[in-house]
Amino acid sequence: MATKLFLALLAICRLIIAVGLTLDPSELLRLGVDESLRLSFEPEDIKEASIDFGGLKRAEPLAIFRPNSAHDVARLVRVVYESSHGFTVSARGHGHSINGQAMTKDGVVIEMSNGEGGNFETIVSEKLMYVDVWGGELWIDVLRSTLEYGLAPKSWTDYLYLSVGGTLSNAGISGQAFNHGPQINNVFQLDVVTGKGELLTCSEDEHSELYHAVLGGLGQFGIITRARIALEPAPQRVRWIRVLYSNFSAFTKDQEYLISLQTNKKFDYVEGFVIVDEGLINNWRSSFFSPSNPVKISSIIKDNGGRGALYCLEITKNYDHTNAHSIDEVMIYNSK
């Protein structure tokens, strides 16, 4: 099928060159791509795919593609690869790239997070402690699926409304990274569509070069269509503490100490960040403070010489009903 489409597209291109016909690029794309592939040329869809979270760049694609399966992605990439027109393809998750990485000018944007009607089943293995998920699945939905089995991925990002393929194409770093590494360190296996339109399964033992290139590869080595993610038992309860610092050296010293603990009482999550005076009320991190806290924090910043910044350590300790009585003792022990 792909060969026939390629020959048809090549004939059209030769006709254009030979007789000087003009043809809109989107029409050329329509003629070269199988009708069963779900392409959209609607202005609203084009506009949405032309911007991302960073807002720094803009690039208008010719079309938007909404796949029903990994094979759809492979077919589209293969047709584009075999065409002589020079179309480009870019995979887009939830649109949270910050420098236009999910855009492509005059090409095709694949909407990986659009799962309506698609064959994107999430499979949880309790015995082998993993979950198989579609590359466009959001982490929040992965968590909802695994929690039904009392399990959860080992490593997260802070914000869970991101796609699996998107974070695995970067690194996926959060407060668990000092324990488990980033998300790319907790992947057993991947299905990847290469730039030639091949759909390959890769792991440490199978197509390992592709496996390591795609994980953290910024989307330059293939499109992740499935990921097998490592799981662990989900905690029943979590003790959550935030500590504010005005001294940067004290802040970093304590953070390094907390992540260096090797006892079984060590924390499960350690992360540090900066709090600035501007936008405290509306900052998404500030939503975790009580309504009176932003005012108090602003006051502390002013008392700190008006330098406009504080530092915060966010730490958690997982526990359950069997050791709930001793959690305070553990927290005090770790904080010494």
Residues 178 and 198 in one domain: yes
Residues 98 and 128 in one domain: no
Q: Which residues are known catalytic residues?
A: 96, 158, 271
Print burial letters for 60-92: b (CB count within 10 Å at least 16), e (below 16): bbbbbbbbbebebbbbbbbbbbbbeeebebbbb
Instruction: List, for residues 256-301, the tens digit of each pLDDT value.
Output: 999 988 766 688 999 998 877 555 544 545 555 665 665 566 666 5
Domain tally for the chain? 3
Residues 78 and 134 in one domain: no
Residues 107 and 143 in one domain: no
Residues 129 and 65 in one domain: no
Alpha-carbon 134 to chain mean position: 12
Residues 218 and 257 in one domain: no
**CA separation for the pair 77, 198 (Å, rounded):** 8
Residues 256 and 229 in one domain: no
The answer as to whether 116 is a domain residue is no
The enclosing domain of 200 has a CATH number of 3.30.465.10
**CA separation for the pair 169, 150 (Å, rounded):** 27
Residues 9 and 78 in one domain: yes
State which of 111, 144, 167 marks the end of a domain.
111
Residues 153 and 244 in one domain: no
> Quick one: pLDDT at residue 40?
85
Domain that holds residue 242: 237-335
The answer as to whether 170 is a domain residue is yes
> Quick one: pLDDT at residue 96?
85
Task: Measure the CA angle with vertex 205, ends 123 and 126; round to 5°.
Answer: 25
Strand 63-65 to 39-40 pairing: antiparallel
| Positions of the chain with pLDDT under 50 | 2, 5-23, 28, 281-282, 284
Residues 181 and 243 in one domain: no
State which of 211, 233, 255 marks the end of a domain.
233
Residues 49 and 137 in one domain: no
Reported as type and span, the H/E element at residue 249 is helix 248-260
**CA separation for the pair 133, 165 (Å, rounded):** 10
The enclosing domain of 246 has a CATH number of 3.40.462.10
> Quick one: pLDDT at residue 231?
96
